[in-house]
Structure 1
């Protein structure tokens, strides 16, 4: 088997509002392209926004099917259980159709491929299990819609000249069929060329899905194939670093950075997950909802990651139960500092891998601001440490206020805002001051930040104007805009 990697993208109101001091760290723009704002500098095809019923990554190793695994099932039992959980959750999200990206489907040089109908049939005959078959109806309506959306972006899409699905499609579909899926299905292949824009293809996929109604999207892919002596692609001591990096991107809500992964690392890992994941995540603009790593194992020298990127059953306000304690963590950090002692530890912090950017806001009993400091990228090892660090900064380092005193601590209210990673937007229509915070960028590296859902900030113009004031910019001098979402936790 020849393993090919895609090129890196590195060559490519009167009330005081919460504020980020100039000393705080910002996440940089992820691209060196010309700014996307104002609109007279750059225009792109306006695509309808897509929110899937469910999306994520499933591995495709035939050995994950219990009948194939046989006695070796014990070595991959956690992955098999996670695949089944993923499939049940996808079916429960009630999609009317399914898109699946398979890295093993036959590839054209520069065009994407689509398996034709009337039915899509696959088996594992190549692995000695011809009786293990899966069959789902071909989605003709989706194919024509996808063709139009790809054409709008200058992307090619042609039928695959084969009559049997590859195992990259058949294995995920086996788990989905076991869970009850038998709806209209579209299976796509990736192009052979490294120069095709997968993010653009993801946008086209999302645009088509947005026109078609409730849709689930699945990336098929296995992680490194070089994790142990005797692995399918041989052993490499650095291969595990790829698996750790991709899993971290999911955990930290950083999937928009997948195109910037080190191409050398991807190549030596002999992986086939990153391209599928990038295209699927781009379909919903790299936004995640209910993201979760269900399992990661690496038996047989191959890494298997099962991950959810989007679950429509997860409400926007739903957070891990332990996160509800973050305001108390912030208060305890300030209290301990005022008393000259170490903050009390919490059992929930042990083993915590959650990392995210955080703002901590302090308010007086009447709601007036008493301090607020945060960052746009995580700086500490986990969310608990991040919260403590920002709480101390908000209480003692906000230049607009004197340091908090012990005598007033009991009267203060602590609020912790956990941020998603900022994403670039190219038009104001994609902003919403109630839902999204905003980052404005101007010349000389000047940046201004405003959190969402602030009292007295009801329009996009108001939001941008305030953020510009923070950055010392005129609204007309904005060169780029970013937005982010917030999970707000209060005492």
Structure 2
């Protein structure tokens, strides 16, 4: 028997996806296997008038190799630019997450895409504090540079001196920045969208709203006559279950969007007192966000615009029993932002409103696009994209198979019989598995993608039937279970092969590692399902 059709489709078992870490979801090793972490103290010199801080989390949060890092950042920004048309005026401030790029990179990129193409004199980075338990107000990096695999980012020494003089209570110590990742992970984005632009790195402690107002208003006076981008970094809820995170983060996002720091402060307090399961904090960079909101308000802004929300459970790597939330905001001065703005739907909201129904042609085309983009990203840069679509039908919980054909011959086919999360994520996982985990074939390479044709089968729920006579050839996919043996055929297999029911079941028994007539045994059990099958046009891609 040859490789024709679907007879060899295997069940996909699971991807090893781990959510770990204290303040962010630690990236897995699989997307970027070449990475290795580095960490060192600031070094003197560098021609920047101060110490050069080496990268502390390269190889952990983002790729170590320069070419790989630039490819990832460029891909994330390209995807972000396709989302919503940018405003014509440069944003005054951004709020971005700081987890590893496999988790929050797409969310951060959505904010940086708004700032791309606009010239700034400098970028003031307000980082969260994860490493300094005794930090009070904040810690400034006064001079020198921050290094990443893409090169050095100079510190705007004169502006940093003004900030230090204007903001009461700041420490000025490069060593305090040695291990803090929240500022570092922003730098590759800035190096791509604004190469050569100097920075003012400032870690902000967990200050009160009153103190944040004082800091923000003082900072606004320093920045008032300058074309400076203010970037505050925070992740949202830490470690609640997926559904709980959606509710908690929804309230936090609404408070931030109001640009009312007092409301953010009170919302945080209410939610921390509410006893949400697993909730360790709602904003790990609360001080940075509050300071940025106060500064933006003093500089003439009225509202923060939500660009994208997701959490680690929306990625292909994150577990759902403990998640971390991420949001991207852009803030413009009054009259300079978008004339009208509707926040994009959060994936968790779409999942809660999912529609269980057949996909229409546009939704089928979108799902095929998702599968192809997932393969292009994964095989090209080692990182699958965060795919978000407004159609509720793409978030139904359905099993799915992804079949890859190369010039008409099977190249990979793996599926999941039952729904495990939203359909759009299942298709992404099955596409990767079909390309890289089908044991009958070597892994697909990126060079093969132009020759591949993708087919998707969206499955109905499994239904056990009394016996083989209930199986309708061509309509039903079949799962045969006999003791510890099992095998599956999709509905189209029998038609493609020209089999009748008995012939199909004999082949299915052999596929399960049983004698051809084992399906006749009274101990054999049968499950059936139907499938909505669609594929790329013959000319694709």
Q: Could you say which structure has the greater relative contact order, defined with CA pairs below 8 angstroms and 6 or more residues apart? A: 1
Shorter-chain-normalised TM-score: which range?
0.3 to 0.5
Structure 1 length as normaliser, TM-score?
0.43
Larger radius of gyration: 2
Structure 2 length as normaliser, TM-score?
0.39
